Chain A
């Protein structure tokens, strides 16, 4: 009898065990190792036996945040670029996703087909889609310059898109193209949970379409939006795939996202200690923002009730 009861209480833990073990092995243990590595002088001489590397204390961190020296300055630049990129990309993706989801709330002819087309960027493998964009952004053979210069005569010459300052615009464009369908998908699902009677009642009271959207649709989507914006923020801020495929291993300064920056400063200079320190700083920043976001939104929710 006792054994049976033990079995009962133990069962949920047993069911969780595989998931927990794998998350530990792949995420949590490496994270701890990464924190240890950030306190070591882990340069190319110690790659074979990294435990033999001398301790650096907070030295790696001091180098990373010394903004008067080149390493710190370029990290800071990369941080600001990533912030601007994230705000623009998340904002636009959310806006487009919301608009499309609301516009497609009512049934019309061809809606299913349109929805499938809209979800294509989400379904396409990142590298296949981004390689196509990099072809479109080629200076001499790409579609973008063909359209802007040859057809519409908007630019005097053929601008470069993948090097120089324009690369930021290119990166945001690709990122929005890739991210908005996820917002659309999530919000489409969220819209289905709004009871139709609400709209009918509002219509009876004489509320127009725009008013219904403002008074019913948007407030009802708030819980979905809370999660959606946070997820989009984390994905976009950590995005590695898009710049890596779009620019290759060396991203231009104007589009030097933080993930790429750390990857480069680890693998190009083979200084894994300082790379790890930068990663830990990045994690701390994300933790802070997430905690602040959750705190702010839960307090506002409390005030609403």
Chain B
């Protein structure tokens, strides 16, 4: 659009300003309240702390074992991301490069698992994990491994779909040239397709990590004291008779930093990945 009229520019300016205020208010509240002394969050709300203190940031680690939750979340989300991306690459390669019987059925089935309400398979999965544990001794219930398995399937469908689209956009001439050079299908995948699809793979990894890091429902049922993740652990501040809102806000900020930083650094990959893959 070349040189839009003033009416358009003013509408745009006002709409985007209002939207920015709506979007940023909770973030600013989180930031300012995390720097307040306790009495500031126990009386009427104030935007700016009466005195700025870093105490909440020191206290959060003592009120609840936040450090342990943090490590658990890192292990679970990291594990789920690595596994999900690897499995999605293999599946997306098959969907993108081969025409085989059941190809459509596979994509439809996998995508349709996305619409299952989590509540429907939460309880059976819980019973399944307990039974597998009782009969084989593989402890899935209450373990980080069980949570990794669960979370990786949450991001898998979308990851396969997006990566398959991305792989489709990589010219097949490259594959054929590699085949002429004597590369097998797997060598072609590793040498040609994966390097060309790095933006898509990064986007999928960010998505998988965020999905695992933010999940609440399964974490609240499938973990015990030892394996509790941040999603459940953060509510520890709120179940006390006194809610330490300044600490809650500080803890929220601390647990948000890894994902938000990663997301903002890599968001252009996410947009590029969406453009090439999903949106077609």
A47 to chain B, nearest CB (A): 9
The contact of B29 among A125, A135, A190, by CB within 8 Å, is: A135
Indicate if the CB atoms of A103 and B106 lie closer than 8 Å.
no
Which of chain A's residues has its CB closest to B2's CB? A203
| Residues in chain B near residue A141, CB distance under 8 A | 41-45, 245
Bound complex: CA A227 to CA B151 (Å)? 23
Indicate if the CB atoms of A18 and B44 lie closer than 8 Å.
no
A201 to chain B, nearest CB (A): 12
Indicate if the CB atoms of A132 and B279 lie closer than 8 Å.
no
Indicate if the CB atoms of A126 and B216 lie closer than 8 Å.
yes
CB-contacts of A183-240 with B (<8 A): 185-186, 188-190, 192-193, 199-200, 203, 208-210, 212, 223-224, 227, 231, 234, 237-238, 240
The contact of A15 among B22, B33, B43, B94, by CB within 8 Å, is: B94
| Residues in chain A near residue B153, CB distance under 8 A | 22-23, 25-27
B217 contacts A by Cβ under 8 Å: yes
**Per-residue contact bits, chain B 105-146, to A (CB 8 Å; 1 contact, 0 not):** 010011001111111111111011000000000000000000
A-B contact count (CB 8 A): 278
| Residues in chain A near residue B238, CB distance under 8 A | 131, 134, 248
Bound complex: CA A283 to CA B43 (Å)? 45
The contact of A117 among B24, B90, B94, B270, by CB within 8 Å, is: B24
| Residues in chain A near residue B255, CB distance under 8 A | 125, 128
The contact of A19 among B46, B88, B270, by CB within 8 Å, is: B88
Indicate if the CB atoms of A30 and B216 lie closer than 8 Å.
no
User: Are A275 and B123 CB-contacts (below 8 A) given A116-B264, A120-B260?
Assistant: yes
Indicate if the CB atoms of A19 and B160 lie closer than 8 Å.
yes
Bound complex: CA A18 to CA B216 (Å)? 25
CB-contacts of B17-64 with A (<8 A): 19-20, 22-27, 29-30, 33, 41-47
User: Are A30 and B119 CB-contacts (below 8 A) given A203-B2, A209-B8, A244-B216?
Assistant: no
| Residues in chain B near residue A37, CB distance under 8 A | 123-124
B278 contacts A by Cβ under 8 Å: yes
| Residues in chain A near residue B119, CB distance under 8 A | 238, 240, 259, 262-263, 266, 275, 279, 282
| Residues in chain A near residue B274, CB distance under 8 A | 185-186, 189
Indicate if the CB atoms of A96 and B1 lie closer than 8 Å.
no
Bound complex: CA A236 to CA B60 (Å)? 32
User: Are A11 and B120 CB-contacts (below 8 A) given A135-B248, A192-B275, A290-B115?
Assistant: no
Which of chain B's residues has its CB closest to A199's CB? B1
| Residues in chain B near residue A55, CB distance under 8 A | none
CB-contacts of B266-280 with A (<8 A): 267, 270-271, 274-275, 278-280
Stretch of A63-71, A83-91, A142-150, A295-303 at the chain-chain interface: A142-150
Indicate if the CB atoms of B44 and A190 lie closer than 8 Å.
no
A105 contacts B by Cβ under 8 Å: yes
The contact of B121 among A30, A118, A125, A227, by CB within 8 Å, is: A30
B162 to chain A, nearest CB (A): 11
Bound complex: CA A259 to CA B88 (Å)? 28
B203 to chain A, nearest CB (A): 10
B256 contacts A by Cβ under 8 Å: yes
Report whether over half of chain B's contact residues are helix, strand or loop; otherwise say mixed.
Answer: helix
Bound complex: CA A23 to CA B88 (Å)? 12
Bound complex: CA A224 to CA B275 (Å)? 10
| Residues in chain B near residue A118, CB distance under 8 A | 19-20, 23
User: Are A282 and B120 CB-contacts (below 8 A) given A26-B150, A27-B153, A240-B217?
Assistant: yes
A245 to chain B, nearest CB (A): 6
Indicate if the CB atoms of A13 and B100 lie closer than 8 Å.
yes
Indicate if the CB atoms of B121 and A26 lie closer than 8 Å.
yes
Indicate if the CB atoms of A209 and B120 lie closer than 8 Å.
no
Indicate if the CB atoms of B214 and A125 lie closer than 8 Å.
yes
CB-contacts of A64-102 with B (<8 A): 96, 99-100
B235 contacts A by Cβ under 8 Å: yes
A33 contacts B by Cβ under 8 Å: yes
User: Are A119 and B118 CB-contacts (below 8 A) given A23-B153, A131-B248, A132-B29?
Assistant: no
A-B contact pairs, 24 of them (CB 8 A): A11-B98, A13-B94, A19-B88, A22-B87, A22-B156, A26-B153, A28-B113, A29-B124, A103-B15, A106-B4, A121-B23, A124-B260, A125-B214, A132-B26, A141-B44, A189-B279, A209-B5, A223-B279, A240-B119, A244-B216, A259-B118, A279-B119, A282-B119, A283-B117
Name B residues whose Cβ lies closer than 8 Å to a Cβ of A.
1-2, 4-5, 8, 12, 15-16, 19-20, 22-27, 29-30, 33, 41-47, 87-88, 90-91, 93-95, 98, 100, 103, 106, 109-110, 113-125, 127-128, 149-150, 152-153, 156-157, 160, 185, 210, 213-217, 220, 230-231, 234-235, 238, 245, 248-249, 252-253, 255-256, 259-260, 263-264, 267, 270-271, 274-275, 278-280
Name A residues whose Cβ lies closer than 8 Å to a Cβ of B.
9, 11-13, 15-16, 18-20, 22-23, 25-31, 33-34, 37, 50, 96, 99-100, 103-106, 114-129, 131-136, 138, 140-143, 145-146, 150, 177, 181, 185-186, 188-190, 192-193, 199-200, 203, 208-210, 212, 223-224, 227, 231, 234, 237-238, 240-241, 244-245, 248, 258-259, 262-263, 266, 272, 275-276, 279-280, 282-283, 286-287, 290
The 7 closest A-B pairs by CB, nearest first: A33-B124, A30-B124, A30-B121, A15-B94, A123-B263, A128-B252, A279-B120
